[in-house]
Structure 1
């Protein structure tokens, strides 16, 4: 027999109030589902409180300082540039406070979501304890996110190491900051704090920063970091920490006043009652889901960082919407494989789809335009960077990399082109505003189209056509 509904039966139980949970709850409520969202800390998640918002706010302050120091190249004098770290912190806190109402319990309640600030533990395939009270759900969405990964380095726990979550509690700018990890978080924050006036050292076991990104892009970022005063200790890993000193496996050591650990993240899956609900984890400790974000329990879906899929807010939001729609409507929508990503260093690195390195291995075509030939870049005196497009045998765009100012803005058009299977001719034939940094995208597309017409067979056909048409016109 069907289980009778009770006052605590919901159509969708959402566990976690970060981006995936917020979007999922809003989606479900909009679709008419009785939706309950449970958050044990504060709604908004990492993105609002310790990730995207505060990091981009501090990057804005750091960029302002760097730009002020560099105005001499344009003939503008500003005098000595000073940084008031207390006011930088105030700017960060203001940005959070301004955005927070959109992610608040009040906003959720206004949308028709029942919000519980407390804990939720699954107790069966369709039941949970929410703050100790039993709740039956027709479907559930796990959206508990991920936490900073802390490596097992001897002595690390004795020095009050910072992570991307606790960094924002700093009241003073560290004189010497050592960053463990040369990935996007380490590079972004390392560059930012160097521009604000700290002596920064980035340590990474790889032989270059931004390991998964295009090698040329990573090289440009490394050069920019060094210009901003960041010391890069690459190819070396931390082995032991003592107060004020990080020892490396190459026998050297690096002094610090504060140590920031930025080596990755791990899904938050503990204390959720996953075993009781029959929800399995994958080999990496993330909640295992299929392409529709359904778990091994057919009543339970998962979205966001807890699934181990790319740790991006835009992925969490999109997946939260897909999972909630599937859960309450019985749909089988699948996740989009085209995922853009941006590292917000200066220069920015924006990528999507097939990388140039992978393209060369697969025999695909790569067209690259250096920003030294882009008029807007020349006019602003910021010519370091490039745009590369990857096309398949039918000239369809399948990937690309943009390195330079506002690269993330250009990536939007490129991502849409890749997702929709547009060709370089589609881009080249679209009127774009001039002058913009986006010109490089168009120039690369034009370069590809012209290369196609430059092939001997094509040129021969075109010349014959032009000759025939010319003779026809002469007869008129």
Structure 2
């Protein structure tokens, strides 16, 4: 039987992946005058909308409602017994999640039909892609890899079926489990762990380190560990050594670095040890890209151009700052630079200054890391302004008085970073990120209007202590 002829496509810029970074790259390339195609392997809808930011925040918000109802008595408000309907909770999560996904897909469908290609792409040369079924061949001038990420699942959990969850499957379960083991205390792990605990699930979190939510400052680490230990069982410095079926659940056995160990049986286990880039099967070697020790492409972090080929990397595939606002910006940079490379050559490639680092974890209290964070080796170069939120006025009014904030400045008083575990961390983090990005000093920001009584007044306390510290020098 004669094989069907290959479908041949030619374009200036080929974008692999139609998530946040990929769609931004496609738009930017088109706006720069390039002929671009957008390749999506499915299911589409972006990591954020389908399995990341949006469904997790829906679960967290449900957990907050339950938590606030239980604590209403602190304000003299009687609510009676609180019952969480797990089926209804997860149905709402999926219903609203699907709205967000539909919005992303509708944007994708607005692009011209001739620019949208469905299939799994693979490089066969530095300027050629083929789709998985091999009936389409795409020749390009430049490409953007925006293939997203996939959850990492420890090998020892293989073969245990749907009792093992990832963020790709967590939001599809029909009801809340009675018990849950969370492996990994990073941003995703601690967010889900706290939400599940507040929804009535018995949660055990195991982590190989001794800090949660990516915190680094020792005081904040200690505060966080104490706060979260009140809501769940924590095992730090542990490694899961064995996982096996136990009735309808899973028995985990772990060992600690100090020689201590333990075991437990859980209805479900959530693997929350990270989301590495989805690069397998892309044929990076055939593209001529230089690869790092993990098999990922080496690339310039400012231009996003890979070494050895006219290929750019953006979003989760870049594995540098896997958050949506960075993915969108990286997509725009990669798309513009890919178009410029084709139309003007290397001299047309822009090297924009990076945004100040801004990372948040939506626990309660929340955390945020802005710019330069805790570094004991730079203590002599810094002035630190601290505030304890257990005594902050508005925090006490809301019965959310917990945590602390550290703001860092150089010896000239210029703001360089901050780390926090406190109420409204997402808002304080934004204010500080903008101030640092604009090159403000502690005095500059202190001189801005701050309303009373607000959580933002905590910044005033910390900034004043930086100013006083500068004067003391």
Distance 1:233 1:454, change over 3 A: closer
Matching residue within 443, 463, 467 for 1:425: 443
Matched residues in 1 for 2:262 and 2:460: separation? 48
Describe how 1:143-222 pairs up with structure 2 within 5 A. Answer: 143-153=146-156, 156-160=158-162, 161-210=164-213, 212-222=215-225
Secondary structure of the residue aligned to 1:157 is coil
Q: Which runs of 5+ in 1 are unaligned?
A: 1-5, 456-476
Distance 1:258 1:343, change over 3 A: same
- The yes-or-no answer on 1:336 pairing with 2:336 is no
Q: Normalising by structure 2, what TM-score?
A: 0.89
Residue number in structure 2 paired with 1:464: none
Residue number in structure 1 paired with 2:312: 301
Residue number in structure 2 paired with 1:469: none
Conserved 8 A contact 1:36-1:115: yes
Matched residues in 2 for 1:433 and 1:117: separation? 52
Q: Normalising by structure 1, what TM-score?
A: 0.88
Conserved 8 A contact 1:141-1:323: yes
Describe how 1:51-90 pairs up with structure 2 within 5 A. Answer: 51-90=52-91
Matched residues in 2 for 1:434 and 1:37: separation? 50
Conserved 8 A contact 2:210-2:237: yes
CA-based RMSD of the aligned residues comes to 2.1
The alpha-carbon deviation at position 223 of structure 1 amounts to 2.4
Matched residues in 1 for 2:285 and 2:294: separation? 16
**What is the CA deviation profile of residues 228-286 of structure 1, one whole-angstrom value per residue up to 9, with x for unaligned ones?**
2x101112211011112101123421111111111122221121121221123212332
Matched residues in 2 for 1:31 and 1:225: separation? 48
Residue number in structure 2 paired with 1:134: 137
**What is the CA deviation profile of residues 389-422 of structure 1, one whole-angstrom value per residue up to 9, with x for unaligned ones?**
1000110000001322220121111112222221
**What is the CA deviation profile of residues 290-333 of structure 1, one whole-angstrom value per residue up to 9, with x for unaligned ones?**
13100124421011122221222222121111111111123222
**What is the CA deviation profile of residues 174-233 of structure 1, one whole-angstrom value per residue up to 9, with x for unaligned ones?**
1111111111111111111111111110011223333553232233332232222x1011
Matched residues in 1 for 2:216 and 2:323: separation? 15
Conserved 8 A contact 1:156-1:240: no
Conserved 8 A contact 1:246-1:254: yes
Secondary structure of the residue aligned to 1:237 is strand
Larger radius of gyration: 1
- The yes-or-no answer on 1:288 pairing with 2:306 is no
Q: Which runs of 5+ in 2 are unaligned?
A: 1-6, 341-347
Matched residues in 2 for 1:18 and 1:48: separation? 9
**What is the CA deviation profile of residues 72-123 of structure 1, one whole-angstrom value per residue up to 9, with x for unaligned ones?**
111111111111112211221232222224321x423435582222121222
Residue number in structure 2 paired with 1:354: 372
Conserved 8 A contact 1:377-1:437: yes
Secondary structure of the residue aligned to 1:165 is coil
Tell me which moved more, 130-139 or 364-373: 130-139
Tell me which moved more, 21-30 or 207-216: 207-216
Residue number in structure 1 paired with 2:108: 108
Point out which structure has higher relative CO (alpha carbons under 8 A, 6+ apart): 2
